Amino acid sequence: ATGPAPRWAQGVRSDGLPDEPALDDLDLPDAGEAAARERWAAMLDDGLAGYADDRNRPDLHATSRLSPALKWGEIHPRTLLADLARSRSDGAAAFRSELAWREFHADVLFHHPTASWQSLREVAPDDSWVTAEREAAALEVWAAGRTGYPFVDAGMRQLRAEGWMHGRLRMVTASFLIKDLHVAWQRGAAHFMRWLVDGDVPQNQLNWQWVAGTGRDAAPYFRVFNPVTQGRTLDPDGTYVRRWVPELRGIPGAAVHEPWKLPRAAAPDYPERVVDHAEERKVALDAHARRSR
C-alpha cells in the first residue's frame, strides 16, 4: 500500500517570494553594449551642445548616464575619446575633462592602493569626528534622506530608488556627511559602494577623498558645499527636489529648498533640519584650523 510521501519529499516550506516592486516611474538605462552605444550616439547628436553649461543640473537630462556602462565594460573610454576628438565644442572638452578625472583617480589608486580606505593626507584632527553612537544616528538620517535639507535628501533618495545619483549631488551629499554631520569619509564611501550600480572603487573612494580634502588635487578642506545655495543654483525651480521628496510637492518654486522658512503646515510630514549648516560649517573649519597649526 502506498502511504503519504515522506516529509523530506514534500519540499521545503517557505513564505514564498515577495512581489516584485513596481518601478514604472523610474527611467533606468538599459544594460548591454548595444544600449550603451545607442546612448552615446544620442549624446553625440543632441547632448554635447549643452553639456558644458548644464551637466551639473540634476533637474535636466544633461548627462550621458554612461557611468554604469563604463564601470561594467559595456563601452570603453577610448571609444568615447575617439569620437570626441572629432569635435571642438565646449561640451566635448568638458566631457573629455570628466574622462580625464576618471583615469586620474584610477592612476592614483594604482600607485596608492591604500587610498581605497586610508586618507592620502590628514586635514582634520582625530577628535573632529562624532562618537560612534552619534555617527550611527547621523548615518541613518543621511542614508534615508531625512536630514531636513531637501537637496541632500533628494540625492540620497534617488540613490536608494535607482542605484544612481547625479554627480553633483554625490559631492553635495558627501560634503554634508563629512562637514555638517562630522562623519569620516570612509563611512559614506562604503554606503555609496553598497548602493551604486556604477560603484567603482577608484572613482568612488577618490571622489570622496576629493570632497574631504584628503586626496590628490582635492578640493581644499575649507570648501564646504552649502546645500541650500547648491539647490537654488542647480535646481532653481525645485523640480528635482519635488521629484524625489514627495512631502514637498505642494511647495512651489525655489521655496522648496528652505521649507523651514514656511509654516509647518506647508510640509507637515517632512523632517526638521538635523543640524544648522552655518554652525556646523564653522565647527568643520575650526577643526581644520587646529590641524593646520
For residue 177 the three cell numbers come to 556627511
Q: Which residue, among 141, 152, 142, 180, has the nearest Cα to 257 in the 3D structure?
A: 152
- Ligand-binding annotation for 198, yes or no, is yes
Tell me the C-alpha distance between 293 and 284, whole Å: 15
- Ligand-binding annotation for 217, yes or no, is no
Are 171 and 249 in contact, with CB atoms under 8 Å apart? no
- Ligand-binding annotation for 63, yes or no, is yes
- Ligand-binding annotation for 286, yes or no, is no
The vertex-77 CA angle with 75 and 78, nearest 5°, equals 105
- Ligand-binding annotation for 225, yes or no, is no
Q: DSSP letters of 154-217? A: HHHHHHHHHS---HHHHHHHHHIIIIIS---HHHHHHHHHHH-TT--HHHHHHHHHHHHT-STT
**Residue 62: what residue type?**
A
- Ligand-binding annotation for 177, yes or no, is no
- Ligand-binding annotation for 64, yes or no, is yes
Contacts of 13 (CB under 8 A, 6+ apart): none
- Ligand-binding annotation for 51, yes or no, is yes
Annotated binding site for FAD: which residue ranges? 51, 63-67, 95, 198-200
Binding residues, by number, are 51, 63-67, 95, 198-200
